[in-house]
A and B are shown apart, each in its own frame.
Chain A
């Protein structure tokens, strides 16, 4: 768990600081230095792509974009999931039954295809990627939060709050939500890699981030086209993407085992 966290922290620092260490800009093309392998000679630490753009800077930018999309998308799913789950759990009864039935229905939808449809219909809007990915990932969160809320609302402090005349909305957001933080944090760590996957999947297909901007998925896509002559273009972003996903998954699993008593083996 510490190792995964440490690696993620290092990658993050590198992605933020990295571009300043290089004399190149991410969008600058240099047709005298096309498809160069990694070297220190021209200060292209990770080589250049088929347009002569510096891959070190582009990879760092890619990590930034990928992480940014993933974190914002996870926040979107967090807000939707926590509000939905907390309301369903607190109100209970028939409202709860209908709301959770709706979640079950949504589980059966092939969301990734709907997201692609959305991307086709509305140009490739950066904001839309966030919202679309967030909109698919809130279902798990809603279920878990609802389960927790069901048990929380029977506790004395909720009764006490109700006695003082607090409204339902106030009880949900001021009294119950803070008690959900532990479990929510755990599931956010597991939502982030899912969001990364969706974003890079879309970018890989050419439906996500648009040139000259880039993300790890888009870099992998670029690498596939050049892999016979310039394998570093594929291998470096692919390895980084795999590493980031693995670290998040390990971190999430470890946190879940730590917080969730039922899962302890």
Chain B
């Protein structure tokens, strides 16, 4: 198990390095500098600014400086939000994004697994078909379509829920963003659970357990659920990545001051360091969580450790 964990850890490090170098080079290959404006700066001012942000150094030296900063958790200063470092901005935005993302993942797991199981148990029934066509719809319709349509229906037309974030009190403002983020993941998880459950239920050990006279409920809970969860578990990595991507849209539509909004604003304002910092932060998060999922997978299923 230790060997397996170490191997996974070793596999994650080059990926992370690749992201950092790739992202850094992309930003620095950009034509034009971050301080180019309509009005050209006097040469000595431009030189001073370049020196202050170390833009006059060779690229390799800049990369080295950036990497050593990263190790200390220093992502550099933001180019647009003067007086703020990128790390400070991330610390401001991330907690809210995390809150909403976690709620969405929990909701997706809860609804997805239960509806997938129900569909698998009644395979071919009307209920199964309804769940599966909902799932197909949920997979096909992107978050940025679902979010505004839900706002239009439930908030603007029916006034059941608040449309925006600021100014609306209590938990009601969480409802729409969390549901919007969770919907596509519910759809994927329901499909995965159904397919996996059907496969598990067809296996010999289930037949044996049934022959021993176990009630269906106990059978599912004790024997079938654990092997069914393996594909769902390995989907968690992509799910988290999808929720991060979705959060960018959801925060934009609902006006939530989270990290996703900083990211979009940064991208539109050409705040290179901020965008670079957030990309690296997201990448680290996704890679770490993928690593955790991999390790968890090894804990649950000893067979994967052998490979």
Q: Which residues of A contact B (CB under 8 A)?
A: 104-105, 108-110, 112-114, 116-123, 193, 197, 200-201, 204-207, 217, 220-221, 223-224, 227-228, 231, 234-235, 238, 241-242, 245-246, 249-250
Contacts and interface: CB of A to CB of B under 8 A. Distances in A.
Given A105-B14, A108-B290, A117-B27, A241 B152 contact: no
A205 B249 contact: yes
Contacts, number: 124
Which of A118, A120, A250 gathers the greatest number of chain B CB atoms within 10 Å?
A120
Contact of A113 (B145, B151, B282): B282
Given A116-B267, A119-B267, A206-B268, A110 B282 contact: yes
Given A234-B149, A249-B136, A117 B14 contact: no
Contacts of A112: 245
26 contacts: A105-B11, A108-B286, A108-B287, A110-B244, A110-B282, A112-B245, A113-B263, A114-B23, A114-B279, A116-B263, A120-B270, A120-B275, A122-B31, A200-B142, A201-B144, A205-B252, A238-B145, A241-B142, A241-B145, A242-B141, A242-B145, A246-B137, A246-B141, A249-B136, A249-B139, A250-B136
B140 interface: yes
B286 A204 contact: no
A115 to B, nearest CB: 10
A118 B244 CA distance: 18
Contacts of B266: 120
Determine chain A's interface SS by DSSP, over half rule. helix
A109 B268 contact: no
B179 interface: no
A105 B11 CA distance: 8
Nearest to A101: B11
Given A114-B23, A238-B145, A249-B136, 8 more contacts: A109-B22, A116-B275, A117-B279, A118-B26, A123-B31, A205-B267, A234-B148, A245-B141
A227 B270 contact: no
B156 A228 contact: yes
Contacts of A207: 267-268
Contacts of B11: 104-105
Interface in B129-162: 136-137, 139-142, 144-145, 148-149, 151-152, 156
